[in-house]
Every structure is written in C-alpha cells, then in structure tokens.
C-alpha cells in the first residue's frame, strides 16, 4: 500500500452519539474480520475518517518511526504491516472510544427502545434497523461501509452483515429470512431489491416526529355518536356480529357498499358498543400499496386484544383480480396469506367487491352490504340525532320528511350538521330549518360533487294533469296504479309488476308525472340516470342494475330510469360486448321485478326494439294543444305582469298563443325563469309571447307514434 501524507478525506460530524459509537463499533468488527487483509486500504481510510489524518499519522509515526521515512522515500507499505498497525495500535483506541460513548444516552436510544418494544424486535433485528438508518443519515457509515466496502446492497449485507454486526451467521440468516423488518414497514424494498430504512422510521429516529409511534400508523379517535340501533341492519346480521365481537378469536369482517352509506360510522358504533379500542389504519401521504401494507403490518403488531383494527378504503388492497379495465394492485397470495395468519380483529371496508378474488372472499369470517340511505333511514337517523340533542318535537314530522327527501346525505352528514348548528329552543324554527338545509346541501355537494337529483319533494307541488297532451288519459293510468298498489299491500299481486314507458319530446312532463305518481301513491321515487349506473369496471354496470332493482323492491319504491335510450341500447348495432350485457341485464331484471318500474325517453329510435314488449304501458307525451297553450300561459306566465299594468289578453294575442306549435310545459317554465327577476312593471304580454315563439324555433316533431295497450 502506498500512503500519502496529503490524504485529506473530508471530516463529517457523526450526527449523534449513536452514530459515532456505531461507526467505531463497525470499524472494530471489520478490523477483527478477514476484511482487514483483503480490503486493508479501505479500512485504513475508514480509520482516518474517524480519527482524522493528523491524529492517525501521529500515532503511526510515534509507534513506527521507520514508516515516516519509507513514506518520504516513496516506498510501499505492505498490507500486512498496515493490518498489524490497525490491530495493535488503533483497535485499543477504538475500544476505548466505544466504552466512553456507551455511557452517553441521547433521546435516540429511547426511540430505538420504543420501536423494539412496539414491534417486538429481537436484538439482531434492532441492530439491522440501526445500520440501515445510519447508512441513510451518517456520512461515515454510508461512504466507508456502503460505498467503499460495498456492504450496503441486499446480497452483500446478507453475506457479510453478520461480520459487520459481530453476530452468529446462522442466527443472522434466520433473522433475515423472517423478514420482520420488511413486514412491519421499518425497512422497505425499493427497485432492484435494494433495502432502505422507511421514511417514517428515519424521521422518527431523527426526532422529526412525535415520540408516540401510534400517531404514524393509526388514529385512536372514535367520536361516533350514533348507536348501532340507529343503522338499518337486520337482526340476523347483528346477531352474527355479536358472536364475533364477544369472541376472543381473530376475525376478518368485510363491509361493502356505495360511498356515503355509513359503513365507517357503523364500525365506530360497534367498537363503542362492545367497549373496543378502534385503531383506524392511516392512509400514507404517498398512498402507495407498499406503504399502506407496511402501515397495516405495523398496526397488527401494535394492536392489543381489546382493539378492532379498521382498514377503510381498502379497495386497492383487496380487489386483486384483473379485469379488462382494472388491474389488481396487491398480490393475491399475499392477501390470502395475511388474512389467514394474522391474530387480530380486523374490519375491512370497500366500495366494490367485483374484483375481489373468490379465494380471498372465502377467507372473511363475515361479509355485509351497506345500501344507499333511503328517506326512511335518513328520517330515523335525523330523529335520533335531534332527540340526543334535546329537540324531540322541535321540527314537525312533515318538515323532517321533506329534509330527508331533499338531501341525499348519509348518517354522518346528518349527525355532523346537527352538531354544527348549535341551535337552542329559543332559535326561530324557520331560521334553524334554513341553516339545517344549507348544511345538508353543502355536505351533499362536497361528498357527491353535486346536489343529488333525488331532491324531489317540491317537484310535484304545482303539478297538475290539466292541459297535458298524452296518448291516453293519465287519470286512467293513475287509477290502475292505485288499484295495483292496494292489491300489493294486500299481497294479492306478489308475482305481478307494472312496467311503463313514457316517451315524447323534452319538456312534455314525463319526469314530473313520475314524481306526481310517487306523491299520489305515497311511494319514494328512486331515480337512476346513466351516469349512476354505468361503470368502467367490467361487470360493475350489470351489478349496479341488479342493485337498483333489488333496492327498489326491498324499499317498495317506484324505480325510475330516465334517459332510457342510454340503458336499453339496441343490441343489434352494439359495438361493445358490455352494451349488450347491460341491456340483457336490464331486460332480465324487468321480467323478474315485482313492483312499479318506469322508463322515460326522448328518443324511441335509441331503444332496443325487443325491449318495447316488456312494457305493459306505453304512453306518449305530446306537444300541447292550442287550448293547453292558453291554460299554461295563464297559469305560469300571466302572473309575472304587474297587477297594476296588466291588461286582458286581446283576441289577437290569444289566437297567437294558441297557434304556437310544439310548445311544452317545459317551455313555459323556461320563459318564466327568464323573466322572474325582471321588474314586473316592465313585462308585457307581447314580450312573453315572443319568448315562447323563440323557444320553438329549433324544434322538430317527427317522432314515430307507437301503439299502446292496457295490459293488466
């Protein structure tokens, strides 16, 4: 070896007393190993880094004067001689350093103890964790052990790690094979098999995060105020949950259903009822499945037997099956192995189950579906929440029912709104009701991105059959439906259904008629649009269709499919297989449905022809007749004119209104909206009539009429 007096490897602080002590400890173990002979120069540089060039050569020259002369003469110094110097001269100094540093106990040692205790690490696992931490934050360890000696890579560390840590090789390999540090997320595997300390662990050991480990992986908060009884869960399912939660055995419970149905709130209520701690696994900032799994493993290790672990939004973990549009993010064998081998009580929540492999589904102790909140469920929750806050009779039954119809919010949204209000019995009811409406509306918009289209409590307020132009008398249809509803209640028609197709140009009153029926029959209307039913996931559209029929059947709702041409797609011209299967599923469900189902469309040409025979009633909504034009004008537009300036319609104006072709009730509403904020003293009949004419400029009426028959 050729030594140069001008060697000047940069000095670097050891970051902490732990870093300094371990740097010397690793150096000691290397000097005592066979590396001292085949990597002598690199270990010597490591010594210079730790002691500094001046002090290193001062020791060498003092104990070996001849070496200085050889260096000045440019002579080689053999590796054997350097190895001897390191062992005889520096090893005692290193051991003395280690002894002195062992008396120091900074805060990092307490954090190491916390990790060791929480994750139940043995001493070797703890040493491996410390090494990977120092490789990341300590220049001396990173440069000399990781880069110069090349012991950082996974294979090199597996082969030589026992030397670096000075432990038995077979014991070391046994510890490595268990993979505890990877499973708990302390270490993470990166590209090409490289192992690194996880960011959370690095931050924790570097005192960048609070000392309580739990804050990183889960939350303990459970502020759920609803009781289990507030949820519409069948008694049979509650009985199964009772057995599972009272048992000391581990379980996996899967709860699934559309977002906003109260799944998470229900788990919180369960935990409170059975006096269990609720540990909700956090979603990492990076939100990668690797990080999520490491968090889950960490919580599994930390949780005690009096805890329920909640894995919310677990779709990307559990939905492992591949489909045409979805590729599983987590290995199926890992999921199945995890579900089989953990010893805790875990509740998993997902929005869909269509891509959960059947082998995974079999591993759940119990599965339960949460369906969308209907008006009755919302009414039950809102009454319970008001009662708990001392407002049993503050709002009338009718006012509460109207709220439940208008705002499609879940249990949590209702409870939160009532908490925020902070009303008291001195608050004016009208003011409190307006505040509650605002909160529910904003909550619904925040959750769904829009205000739900089920807000229909006011749609039928001014609705009247008078003036409508339809292919058959709507009063007759209403009477038939009333008789049908009565017989259904008497269970006389368990195996009959009413299927109806409403067709005609936009604005003719098709949708409003459906809600009018709901009001008359005292049944909730379940509106389904294409955007709510169709899904990019293979098989999900068919599942949504089936669920729509099942939900309507269970709740005895009127099932209403608007924009029917988007659902009953003509199969003979379908370009994609899913278009055919969706239509097939709809027709199958219509055949077996026991209730009232109504489809509405503006375009008959866009319907599958074979579907038409499935409808017992086919009703066309036509443009208004001349007398109806005048009826809707007097009903909706004439009141807009200031009473003091209003003059009677002239004969010419009446004839002009009657002569406008292709008018619909919707046109009158549009014109009304145009003028509702204009000063009434400025509005004239001529302005309103001209606006109506303008609405019909671009209309065509070339729809083909279809037959109609009363089938009972």
HEC assignment per residue over 442-505? HHHHHHHCCCCCCCCCCCCCCCCCCCCEECCCHHHHHHHHHHHHHHHHCCCCCCCCEEEEEEEC
Looking at the predicted structure, is the pLDDT value of residue 543 above 90? Answer: no
Q: Residue 76 and residue 74: Cα distance in Å, rounded? A: 7
Q: Residue 175 and residue 314: Cα distance in Å, rounded? A: 30
Q: Residue 6 and residue 1: Cα distance in Å, rounded? A: 15
> Per mean pLDDT, which range of 286-300, 313-327, 415-429, 591-605 is the poorest?
313-327
**Residue 490's pLDDT band (cuts 50, 70, 90):** low
Looking at the predicted structure, is the pLDDT value of residue 432 above 90? Answer: no
**Residue 2's pLDDT band (cuts 50, 70, 90):** very low
**Comparing 533 with 145, which gets the higher pLDDT?**
145
> Per mean pLDDT, which range of 338-342, 440-444, 540-544 is the poorest?
440-444
pLDDT at 410: 64
Supply the mean pLDDT for the chain. Answer: 83
pLDDT digits (tens, 9 = 90+) for 129-165: 999 999 999 988 988 898 888 776 667 888 899 999 9
Looking at the predicted structure, is the pLDDT value of residue 94 above 90? Answer: yes
pLDDT at 472: 87
Rg, Å, the chain Cα set: 38
pLDDT at 447: 58
Q: Residue 160 and residue 198: Cα distance in Å, rounded? A: 22
The token duo for 64 is: 């070996």
pLDDT at 705: 46
**Comparing 374 with 599, which gets the higher pLDDT?**
599
Q: Residue 94 and residue 64: Cα distance in Å, rounded? A: 19
pLDDT at 324: 36
Q: Residue 466 and residue 512: Cα distance in Å, rounded? A: 13
CA distances from 444 to 307, 359, 455, 575 (A): 32, 37, 11, 36
Looking at the predicted structure, is the pLDDT value of residue 30 above 80? Answer: yes
Answer yes or no: are the C-beta atoms of 656 and 688 closer than 8 Å. Answer: no
Strand partners, 499: 597
Cβ-count burial of 423 within 10 angstroms (0-12 exposed, 13-18 middle, 19+ buried)? buried
Strand partners, 618: 501
359, 323, 368: which is closest to 338 by C-alpha?
359
Own/partner long-range contacts of 22-27 (Cβ < 8 Å, ≥24 apart): 22/130, 22/131, 22/134, 22/138, 22/141, 23/50, 23/134, 23/138, 23/140, 23/141, 24/50, 24/94, 24/97, 24/98, 24/101, 25/98, 26/131, 26/141, 26/145, 26/164, 27/94
Cβ-count burial of 625 within 10 angstroms (0-12 exposed, 13-18 middle, 19+ buried)? middle
Looking at the predicted structure, is the pLDDT value of residue 629 above 60? Answer: yes
Looking at the predicted structure, is the pLDDT value of residue 571 above 60? Answer: no
Cβ-count burial of 30 within 10 angstroms (0-12 exposed, 13-18 middle, 19+ buried)? buried
**Residue 322's pLDDT band (cuts 50, 70, 90):** very low
Q: Residue 454 and residue 408: Cα distance in Å, rounded? A: 7
Q: Residue 51 and residue 59: Cα distance in Å, rounded? A: 10
Highest mean pLDDT among 328-337, 370-379, 681-690, 693-702: 681-690
Distance of CA 499 to the CA centre of its chain: 36
**Comparing 284 with 154, which gets the higher pLDDT?**
284
pLDDT at 422: 66
**Residue 413's pLDDT band (cuts 50, 70, 90):** low
**Residue 709's pLDDT band (cuts 50, 70, 90):** very low
Looking at the predicted structure, is the pLDDT value of residue 548 above 90? Answer: no
**Residue 427's pLDDT band (cuts 50, 70, 90):** confident
pLDDT at 4: 41
Q: Given strand 596-601, what is the order of strands in its sheet?
A: 469-470, 617-622, 498-504, 596-601, 558-561, 525-528
Q: How many residues does the chain have?
A: 712
Q: What is the mean pLDDT of residues 362-389?
A: 80
DSSP 8-class letter at 613: G
pLDDT at 424: 65
Looking at the predicted structure, is the pLDDT value of residue 455 above 50? Answer: no
Looking at the predicted structure, is the pLDDT value of residue 706 above 70? Answer: no
pLDDT digits (tens, 9 = 90+) for 187-220: 888 776 788 898 889 989 998 888 887 777 899 8
The token duo for 143 is: 């440069």
> Per mean pLDDT, which range of 3-7, 109-113, 340-344, 587-591 is the poorest?
3-7
Looking at the predicted structure, is the pLDDT value of residue 493 above 60? Answer: no
Looking at the predicted structure, is the pLDDT value of residue 576 above 60? Answer: no
**Residue 514's pLDDT band (cuts 50, 70, 90):** very high
**Comparing 11 with 544, which gets the higher pLDDT?**
544
Share of the chain above pLDDT 90, in %: 39
Q: Residue 654 and residue 605: Cα distance in Å, rounded? A: 36
């Amino acid at each position: 070896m050729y030594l140069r007096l001008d060697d000047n490897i940069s000095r670097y602080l050891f970051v902490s007393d732990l870093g300094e002590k371990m740097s010397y400890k690793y150096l000691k173990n290397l000097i005592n190993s066979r590396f001292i002979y085949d990597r002598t120069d690199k270990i010597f540089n490591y010594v210079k880094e730790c002691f500094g060039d001046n002090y290193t050569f001062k020791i060498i020259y003092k104990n070996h004067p001849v070496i200085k002369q050889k260096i000045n003469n440019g002579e080689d110094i053999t590796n054997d001689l350097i190895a001897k110097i390191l062992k005889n001269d520096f090893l005692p100094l290193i051991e003395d350093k280690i002894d002195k540093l062992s008396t120091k106990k900074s805060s990092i040692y307490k954090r190491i103890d916390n990790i060791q205790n929480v994750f139940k690490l043995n001493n070797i696992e703890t040493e491996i964790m410390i090494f990977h931490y120092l490789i990341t934050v300590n220049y001396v360890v990173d440069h000399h052990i990781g880069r110069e000696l090349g012991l950082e890579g996974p294979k090199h560390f597996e082969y030589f790690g026992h030397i670096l840590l000075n432990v038995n090789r077979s014991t070391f390999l046994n510890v490595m094979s268990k993979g505890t540090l990877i499973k708990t997320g302390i270490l993470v595997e990166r590209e090409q098999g490289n192992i690194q300390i996880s960011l959370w662990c690095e931050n924790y050991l570097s005192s960048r995060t609070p000392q309580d480990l739990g804050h990183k992986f889960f939350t303990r908060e459970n502020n759920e105020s609803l009781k289990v009884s507030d949820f519409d869960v069948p008694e049979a399912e509650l009985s199964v949950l009772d057995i599972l939660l009272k048992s000391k055995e581990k379980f996996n419970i899967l709860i699934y259903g559309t977002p906003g149905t109260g799944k998470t709130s229900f788990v919180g209520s369960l935990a409170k009822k059975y006096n269990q701690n609720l540990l909700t696994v956090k979603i990492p900032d990076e939100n990668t499945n690797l990080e999520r799994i490491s968090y889950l493993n960490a919580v599994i290790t930390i949780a005690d037997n009096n805890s329920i672990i909640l894995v919310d939004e677990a779709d990307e973990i559990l939905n492992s099956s591949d489909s045409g549009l979805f590729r599983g993010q987590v290995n199926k064998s890992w999921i199945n192995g995890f579900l089989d081998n953990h010893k805790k009580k875990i509740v998993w929540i997902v929005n869909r189950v269509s891509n959960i492999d059947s082998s995974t589904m079999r591993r759940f102790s119990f599965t339960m579906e949460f369906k969308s909140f209907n008006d009755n469920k919302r009414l039950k929750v809102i009454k319970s929440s008001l009662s708990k806050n001392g407002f049993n009779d503050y709002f009338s039954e009718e006012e509460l029912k109207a709220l439940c119809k208008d705002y499609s919010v879940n249990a949590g949204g209702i409870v939160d709104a009532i908490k925020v209000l902070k009303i008291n019995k001195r608050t004016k009811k009208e003011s409190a009701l307006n505040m509650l409406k605002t909160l529910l509306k904003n909550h619904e918009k925040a959750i769904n991105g829009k205000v739900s289209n089920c807000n229909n409590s006011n749609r039928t307020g001014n609705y009247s059959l008078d003036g409508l132009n339809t292919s058959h008398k709507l009063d007759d249809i209403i009477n038939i439906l009333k008789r049908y509803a009565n017989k259904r209640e008497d269970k006389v028609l368990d195996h009959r259904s009413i299927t109806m197709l409403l067709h005609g140009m936009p604005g003719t009153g098709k949708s409003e008629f459906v809600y009018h029926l709901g009001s008359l029959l005292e049944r909730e209307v379940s509106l389904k649009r294409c955007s709510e039913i169709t899904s990019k996931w293979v098989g999900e559209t068919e599942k949504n269709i089936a669920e729509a029929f099942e939900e309507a059947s269970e709740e005895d709702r009127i099932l209403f499919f608007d924009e029917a041409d988007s659902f009953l797609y003509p199969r003979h011209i379908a370009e994609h297989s899913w278009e055919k299967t969706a239509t097939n599923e709809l027709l199958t469900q219509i055949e077996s449905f026991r209730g009232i189902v109504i489809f509405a469309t503006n375009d008959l040409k866009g319907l599958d022809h074979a579907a038409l025979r499935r409808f017992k009633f086919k009703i066309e909504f036509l443009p208004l007749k001349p007398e109806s034009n005048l009826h809707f004008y007097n009903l909706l537009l004439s009141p807009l004119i200031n009473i003091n300036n209003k003059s009677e319609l002239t004969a010419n104006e009446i004839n002009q209104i009657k002569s406008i072709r292709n008018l619909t009730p919707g046109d009158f509403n549009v014109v009304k909206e145009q003028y509702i904020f204009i000063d009434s003293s400025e509005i004239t009949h001529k302005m309103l009539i001209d606006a109506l004419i303008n609405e019909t400029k671009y209309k065509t009426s070339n729809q083909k009429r279809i037959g109609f028959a009363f089938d009972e």
